[in-house]
Amino acid sequence: MPYGLDLVRGWFVPQNGVEMKKNLSVENDVKPLVEYNPSFLNRGNLRNLVILLSCVLALFHPIDSVEIFVSFFLLTLGSFVHFVSKGILIRSGLTKCGIYGLVRHPYYMASYLVDLSFCLLSGNTYLLIAYPFLFFWTYGYAIRKEDELLGKAYPDTFFPYLTEIPSAFPDASSIRGWKHLFDGFSMRRISKKEVARLFRYWATALLIFCLHRIPYKDFQSFNFKFEPHHWQTLIWLFLVIILYLVNFIIVAASKKSGSDFELGG
């Protein structure tokens, strides 16, 4: 069976649309194209590390209203980029339209924005400064490898695309194509797991936000007190639980149905 390239995950997937839906969930039919960087940090665990550090640091560092606003703006932007990228990606070929006309790897840009929002929500300046270096350390290898393999698979079309369109962040030239951001977008490409992932992003951000509101600590006397400041904190925590539950329900439903390729499928 002929295979095409998945631009986001770096997989070989069947080019036939019907067979592709059937086999995306079959492990033996989905072959890795890009292995993770053989470092202790990779795309698989960088976000987990960021979330863990952000949650812990939020207990010890204050955050002001400007940081909160900017954090949730970055999260909104990252979620939007992630959603649009998924709705435009064509798994069986080289996608160059829509947001892929602004950057070659919009999923990575979305990951950067989402993780950066968590770092900013932590209230810790050092984590915020360190994250860009961690991002390029872990994602740089995957980007170079994907570009190399896509160049071999589509030598006639990929190399002009490589020279014209930036990697993970738009430049002054590519950003001019923002009017075509939604070209090729289809809701039928949005999987249930992608929707669940967005719920998980927001639940995590609200959890970090709540951690700033709950604890009060007196380091001099080592007297640790955990008291909600206001009843609003309990409402935020309740919303966090609801979002996580929705995420788990969607993931469980998609696994039970055995079909996660399309939101409307």
Tens digits of per-residue pLDDT, 52-102?
Answer: 999 999 988 989 999 999 999 999 999 999 999 999 988 777 888 999 999
Any domain includes 71: yes
The strand ranges marked E within 6-86 are 11-14, 31-32
Question: 127: pLDDT confidence band, cut at 50, 70 and 90?
Answer: very high
Give the whole-angstrom CA distance, residue 193 versus residue 256: 12
Average pLDDT of the residues of the chain: 79
Rg (CA), the chain: 20
Percentage of the chain with pLDDT > 90?
Answer: 40
Is residue 264 a part of any domain in this protein?
no
Per-residue pLDDT at 154: 87
Q: What DSSP element (H or E) covers 215?
A: strand 215-218
Range of the domain at 219: 3-257
- The answer to whether residue 138 is domain-embedded is yes
Count, residues in the chain: 265
| More confident of the two residues 233 and 223 | 233
Closest of 244, 180, 202 to residue 82, by C-alpha = 202
**pLDDT for 111 beyond 60:** yes
pTM of the model: 0.77
Domain assignment present for residue 96? The answer is yes
Residue 152 lies in a domain: yes
Asked if residue 265 is part of any domain, the answer here is no
Q: Do the domain assignments include residue 134?
A: yes
Q: For the CA atoms of 116, 118, 120, 124, what is the dihedral angle to 10 degrees? A: -120
Burial class (CB in 10 A: 0-12, 13-18, 19+), 72: middle
Q: Is the pLDDT of residue 215 over 70?
A: no
What is the per-residue pLDDT across 171-204, written as a single tens digit (0 to 9) for each?
988 898 888 899 999 999 898 888 999 999 999 9
Alpha carbon distance 208, 195 (integer Å): 21
Cα distances (Å, whole numbers) of residue 10 to 49, 221, 232, 254, 264: 23, 53, 43, 22, 24
Number of domains present in the structure of the chain: 1
Confidence of residue 26 (pLDDT cuts 50, 70, 90): very low
